[in-house]
Amino acid sequence: MSPNILRIAVPTPLARTFDYLAPSDAAALVPGLRVSVDFAGRRLTGVIDALASDSACPPEALKPVLAVLDDTPLLPPALLELARWAARYYQHPLGEVYAAMLPGALRHGRAAQDCITPGWRISAAGAQALAGGQLRASRQLTLLQTLAQAAGALDRATLRALHADYSAPLNALLKRGWVEEVAAAGPLRAVQAGPETNAEQQAAIDAVAAADGFGAFLLDGVTGSGKTEVYLRLIEATLARGRQALVLVPEIGLTPQLLARFRVRLSGRIAVLHSRLAAGERADDWLAAAEGRAEVVIGTRSAVFAPLARPGLIVVDEEHDASYKQQEGWRYSARDLAVVRARLERVPVLLGSATPSLETLANAQRGRYGWLKLTRRATGARAPQMELIDLRRQLLDEGLSRPLLQRVRTHLDAGGQVMLFLNRRGFAPALFCHACGWLAECPHCAARLTVHQRRRQLICHHCGHTQRLPHACPQCGAEELLGLGHGTERLEQALVRHFPDVGIARIDRDSTQRKGSLERLLDAVQCGDKRLLLGTQMLAKGHHFPAVTLVGIVDADQGLHSVDFRAAERLAQLVVQVAGRAGRAERPGSVVIQTHHPEHPLFATLLHADYARLAEALLAERRAAQLPPFAHQALLRAEDADAEAAQALLDQAAALADALAADGAVQCLGPVPAPMERRGGRWRMQLLFEAAQRSALHTLLERLLPEFTALPAARRVRWSLDVDPLDLY
Ligand X SMILES: Nc1ncnc2c1ncn2[C@@H]1O[C@H](COP(=O)(O)OP(=O)(O)OP(=O)(O)O)[C@@H](O)[C@H]1O
Q: How far apart are CA 461 and CA 458, in angstroms?
A: 10
Kind and range of the H or E element at 144?
helix 139-149
Alpha-carbon dihedral sign for residues 457, 458, 464, 467: negative
Choice between 87 and 460, CB closer to Zn ion? 460
460 close to 451: Cβ distance less than 8 angstroms: no
Choice between 381 and 700, CB closer to ligand X? 381
Verify binding: residue 233, ligand X, rule CB under 6 A: no
Residue 150, classed as helix, strand or coil, is: coil
CB of residue 252 vs Zn ion: minimum separation in angstroms? 25
Verify binding: residue 227, ligand X, rule CB under 6 A: yes
Binding residue for Zn ion, selected from 94, 150, 445, 481, defined by CB under 5 A: 445
Choice between 224 and 589, CB closer to ligand X? 224
- The dihedral over CA atoms of 539, 544, 550, 553, expressed in degrees to the nearest 10, equals 20
Q: How far apart are CA 434 and CA 453, in angstroms?
A: 18
Binding residue for ligand X, selected from 11, 46, 126, 224, defined by CB under 6 A: 224
Verify binding: residue 355, ligand X, rule CB under 6 A: no
| Count, residues near Zn ion per rule CB under 5 A | 7
Amino acid letter for position 457? Q
CB of residue 605 vs ligand X: minimum separation in angstroms? 20
Binding residue for Zn ion, selected from 10, 106, 419, 460, defined by CB under 5 A: 460
Binding residue for ligand X, selected from 580, 583, 628, 671, defined by CB under 6 A: 580
Which residues within the stretch 368-387 sit at the binding site for Zn ion (CB under 5 A)?
A: none
Q: How far apart are CA 350 and CA 419, in angstroms?
A: 30
Q: Which does 463 bind (CB under 5 to 8 A by kind): ligand X, Zn ion, none?
A: Zn ion
Q: Which does 198 bind (CB under 5 to 8 A by kind): Zn ion, ligand X, none?
A: ligand X
Tell me: is residue 668 an annotated ligand-binding position: no
Closest CA to 131 of 115, 118, 144, 120: 144
Of 137-145, 224-232, 474-482, 484-492: span binding ligand X (CB under 6 A): 224-232
Of 63-71, 217-225, 324-332, 402-410: span binding ligand X (CB under 6 A): 217-225
Q: How far apart are CA 324 and CA 291, in angstroms?
A: 25
Q: Which does 444 bind (CB under 5 to 8 A by kind): Zn ion, ligand X, none?
A: Zn ion
Choice between 570 and 679, CB closer to ligand X? 570
The residue ranges of DSSP E strands in 510-585, in sequence order, are: 532-535, 548-553
Verify binding: residue 32, ligand X, rule CB under 6 A: no
Verify binding: residue 221, ligand X, rule CB under 6 A: yes
CB of residue 446 vs Zn ion: minimum separation in angstroms? 9
Q: How far apart are CA 75 and CA 307, in angstroms?
A: 6
650 close to 670: Cβ distance less than 8 angstroms: yes
Verify binding: residue 444, Zn ion, rule CB under 5 A: yes
Q: Which does 197 bind (CB under 5 to 8 A by kind): ligand X, Zn ion, none?
A: ligand X
Binding residue for Zn ion, selected from 463, 574, 657, 705, defined by CB under 5 A: 463
Choice between 378 and 649, CB closer to ligand X? 378
Cβ neighbours for 421, distance < 8 A, ≥ 6 positions apart: 534, 535, 536, 539, 540, 551, 552, 553, 554, 574, 578
Q: How far apart are CA 352 and CA 329, in angstroms?
A: 27
Tell me: is residue 115 an annotated ligand-binding position: no
Which residues within the stretch 375-414 sit at the binding site for ligand X (CB under 6 A)?
A: 378-379
Binding residue for Zn ion, selected from 185, 431, 442, 495, defined by CB under 5 A: 442
Q: How far apart are CA 587 and CA 593, in angstroms?
A: 20
Please state the length of the chain. Answer: 729
Cβ neighbours for 221, distance < 8 A, ≥ 6 positions apart: 200, 204, 227, 230, 352, 353, 354, 372, 373, 374, 375
Tell me: is residue 476 an annotated ligand-binding position: yes
534 close to 523: Cβ distance less than 8 angstroms: no
Q: Which does 588 bind (CB under 5 to 8 A by kind): ligand X, Zn ion, none?
A: none
Q: Which does 229 bind (CB under 5 to 8 A by kind): Zn ion, ligand X, none?
A: ligand X
Verify binding: residue 461, Zn ion, rule CB under 5 A: no
Tell me: is residue 463 an annotated ligand-binding position: yes
Binding residue for ligand X, selected from 306, 354, 648, 697, defined by CB under 6 A: 354
Verify binding: residue 542, ligand X, rule CB under 6 A: yes
Amino acid letter for position 63? K
Binding residue for ligand X, selected from 96, 229, 236, 295, defined by CB under 6 A: 229
CB of residue 563 vs ligand X: minimum separation in angstroms? 30
Of 71-79, 128-136, 331-339, 461-469: span binding Zn ion (CB under 5 A): 461-469
Q: How far apart are CA 5 and CA 8, in angstroms?
A: 9
243 close to 329: Cβ distance less than 8 angstroms: no
Which residues within the stretch 464-503 sit at the binding site for Zn ion (CB under 5 A)?
A: 465
SS3 content of the chain, % helix, strand, coil (to 5): 35, 25, 40
Tell me: is residue 57 an annotated ligand-binding position: no
Number of other residues whose CB lies within 10 A of the CB of residue 173: 25
Q: How far is CA 175 from CA 38, 171, 179, 424, in A?
A: 45, 6, 8, 48
Q: What is the DSSP letter of 249?
A: -
Of 30-38, 87-95, 218-226, 293-301: span binding ligand X (CB under 6 A): 218-226
Q: Which does 201 bind (CB under 5 to 8 A by kind): Zn ion, ligand X, none?
A: ligand X
Residue 338, classed as helix, strand or coil, is: helix
Verify binding: residue 537, ligand X, rule CB under 6 A: no
35 close to 45: Cβ distance less than 8 angstroms: yes
Q: Which residue is nearest to ligand X (CB)?
A: 226
Q: How far apart are CA 157 and CA 272, in angstroms?
A: 7
Residues within the interface to Zn ion (CB under 5 A): 442, 444-445, 460, 462-463, 465
Which residues belong to the annotated binding site?
Answer: 433, 436, 442, 445, 460, 463, 473, 476
Which residues belong to the annotated binding site for Zn(2+)?
Answer: 433, 436, 442, 445, 460, 463, 473, 476
Residues within the interface to ligand X (CB under 6 A): 195-198, 201, 221, 223-229, 354, 378-379, 542, 544, 580
